[in-house]
Amino acid sequence: MRVKPDPHDPALSRPVTGLNEAGETVSLNVVTERPMTLFLNSQEVVTMMTIGDHPDLLARGYLINQNILTRDDAVEIVEVDDELGVVVVRTKEPTTFEVKSKKKVRTSGCAQGTIFSDVLEAFEDVVLPAEAKLHTSWLVPLAKTINTTSSLYLEAGAIHGCVLAKGAEPIVYFEDVGRHNAVDKVCGWMAANDVDVADKIFYTTGRLTSEMVLKTVMMGIPILISRSGFTAWGVDLARKAGLTLIGRAKGSRFLVLSGHERVVFDHESGS
Amino acid sequence: MRVKPDPHDPALSRPVTGLNEAGETVSLNVVTERPMTLFLNSQEVVTMMTIGDHPDLLARGYLINQNILTRDDAVEIVEVDDELGVVVVRTKEPTTFEVKSKKKVRTSGCAQGTIFSDVLEAFEDVVLPAEAKLHTSWLVPLAKTINTTSSLYLEAGAIHGCVLAKGAEPIVYFEDVGRHNAVDKVCGWMAANDVDVADKIFYTTGRLTSEMVLKTVMMGIPILISRSGFTAWGVDLARKAGLTLIGRAKGSRFLVLSGHERVVFDHESGS
């Protein structure tokens, strides 16, 4: 795995004490959440609550997923000031982003965030690669690798994970308190590493809501898998975009909700 | 219970078909998600993704929780157009809300949403009622009543619930795809029914993130309980505000993370 969680990074979690049901003082390791204010050149865009790892990828991915920057916009440098909680994305070409002028849509569920309406417009034009395939025999080993990778989820819980995979192999695995942040980190990593998405699979621990589907499609990834549930509108959007959507992937069980033409049923059927 | 989920409302869920691991076509009941655009008098505020029940309470609660309206602002009428997906809150006094001029903070986790920065400022001034008590003997019956109430969660899953309770008795129970919406519905109901919050308890199925704590404090509710985990910053905010915060309340187990002076340990200790 090229990027994996670092659950032992002291900046990402810290002990919190409480009283248990017996009235005893107990200490738990709990994920942190900190404000990070994103600037695009001289313009303030948004303040995000994040666990704080990979702020450069989070910032870049956010701007791309919000359709503020394209993957082709040349990013000169991403400056991070952990003290101030500021991250500044500087582009070669001047930008004229005006957040105030953008209509915002407040999306639902764990994939929550604010999406600018032009994302919804751009969504219409995306054509996902048709040749991509999902072998159902990949699902169990992929989930197993993800679930057994040392992570903040295993250490502290109350966090979401997003994985970019090829076949049954996770390539990168990002976590954040907000799942939308974990998605943005994957997007930022793909942009920073100029990744070809045509043969990639996106895996998330959280629910398949409209925003999750929107972002996966905007990233151009043809296959989205979750071990959790889904919303009807998320499924509708996936079908509209021709995204292969797999929900409730647990153990040897799963549901193909959209784009079954990419699915190759080659797993050993459990009894 | 004065308001409880209506899992059999055909507008809130619908069958979605998919292929299971055996390649068989299966149909599941799935929660819906629809855009609802909120206007305050003549001004557009936000578009929310919601399952669509109680749009009037959602709209009113959103405006209060975002500190755009106060609970004392006289609301003349809330007009809902389900066809257009529009809800208009009309106040007796003219409002001068300018969403464009507000700094927005993108919060984390399932409690996700956009919070305007003046909420963070107002938070500093809130003083929660000190006399409120939480008897730990209430926790098990309260959770049992909530968990056994017929709900979309039980019917379809992939949804969050928020409950306003007094003692061990749930008063209202709202659900939504986005937990922040369920919170706003509770807030809207309290405003519409002029509820005294001093002796109330807020229960949520989701994680205790900063936004969850902020909203509970802004609503003036002294006690917040979740069966899920929590973030360190959520706990910090609860301690700052003197909120009684109970996390991981499952069965007879729970953790008091903040405000233990309101907690009366009177439950029968399980072995």
All structural domains of chain B, each given as residue ranges with its CATH number in brackets, are 34-123 (3.10.20.10), 134-264 (3.40.140.10)
Mean pLDDT of B148-173: 94
What is the predicted pLDDT for the residue at B91? 94
> In whole angstroms, what is the distance from residue B165 CA to residue B167 CA?
6
Q: Of the candidates B35, B104, B231, which has its C-beta nearest A177's C-beta?
A: B231
Amino acid at A105: V
* Tokens linked to B87: 């809800």
Q: Chain B residues with CB inside 8 Å of A103's CB?
A: 47
- DSSP for residue B199: T
Residue A219 · residue A239 · CB < 8 Å: no
Q: Chain B residues with CB inside 8 Å of A228's CB?
A: 158
Q: Chain A residues with CB inside 8 Å of B55's CB?
A: none
Question: Least CA distance to A181: which residue of chain B?
Answer: B108
DSSP string, chain A: --B---TT-TTTEEEEEEEETTS-EEEEEEE--EEEEEEETTEEEEEEEE--SSHHHHHHHHHHHTTSS-TTS-EEEEEEETTTTEEEEEESS-----GGGS-EEE--STT--EEEHHHHHHHTT----SS--EEGGGHHHHHHHHHHS--HHHHT-S-EEEEEEETTEEEEEEEESSHHHHHHHHHHHHHHTT---TT-EEEESS-B-HHHHHHHHHTT-SEEEESS-B-HHHHHHHHHHT-EEEEEEETTEEEEEE-GGGEE--SPPP-
What is the predicted pLDDT for the residue at B102? 47
Mean pLDDT of B66-72: 84
Phi/psi region, residue B75 (left: phi>0; alpha: psi -120 to 50; beta: rest), is beta
Least confident among A4-18, B106-120, B156-170: B106-120
CB contact under 8 A, B108 and A177: yes
Q: Of the candidates B13, B114, B228, which has its C-beta nearest A114's C-beta?
A: B114
CB contact under 8 A, B231 and A104: no
| Most confident range, picked from A74-78, A94-98, A153-157, B114-118 | A74-78
> In whole angstroms, what is the distance from residue A167 CA to residue A161 CA?
18
Mean pLDDT of A96-121: 52
CB contact under 8 A, A235 and B30: yes
What is the predicted pLDDT for the residue at B96? 73
What is the predicted pLDDT for the residue at A35? 83
**Tokens 């048709």, located at residue:** A130
Q: What is the mean pLDDT of chain B?
A: 89
What percentage of chain B has pLDDT greater than the value 70? 91
Q: How near does any CA of chain A get to the CA of B127, in Å?
A: 22
Tell me which of A32, A65, A108, A155 to substitute to probe the interface with B (most B C-beta atoms closer than 10 Å): A108
User: How sure is the predictor about A158, in pLDDT bands with cuts at 50, 70 and 90?
Assistant: confident
CB contact under 8 A, B232 and A33: yes
Residue B241 · residue B202 · CB < 8 Å: no
**pLDDT above 50 for A113:** no
**pLDDT above 90 for B86:** yes
Question: Least CA distance to B261: which residue of chain A?
Answer: A19
Give the C-alpha distances (Å, rounded to integers) separating B204 from A171, B147, B217.
Answer: 35, 11, 14
> In whole angstroms, what is the distance from residue B123 CA to residue B218 CA?
6
Structure confidence by residue, pLDDT tens digits, A183-240: 999 999 999 999 999 999 999 998 888 888 989 998 999 999 999 999 888 999 999 9
Higher-confidence residue: A155 or A57?
A: A57
**pLDDT above 80 for A105:** no
**pLDDT above 50 for B22:** yes
Q: Of the candidates A18, A28, A235, which has its C-beta nearest B256's C-beta?
A: A18
- Identify any residues that bridge with A36 across adjacent strands, giving them in sequence order: A48
Q: What is the mean pLDDT of chain A?
A: 89
Question: Least CA distance to A37: which residue of chain B?
Answer: B105
**pLDDT above 50 for B247:** yes
What is the predicted pLDDT for the residue at B109? 36
Q: Of the candidates A19, A47, A179, which has its C-beta nearest B256's C-beta?
A: A19
Residue B219 · residue B239 · CB < 8 Å: no
What is the predicted pLDDT for the residue at B265? 96
- DSSP for residue B14: E
> In whole angstroms, what is the distance from residue B243 CA to residue B200 CA?
12
Q: Chain A residues with CB inside 8 Å of B18's CB?
A: 247, 255-257
> In whole angstroms, what is the distance from residue A108 CA to residue B47 CA?
11
CB contact under 8 A, A158 and B230: yes
* Tokens linked to A202: 């996106």
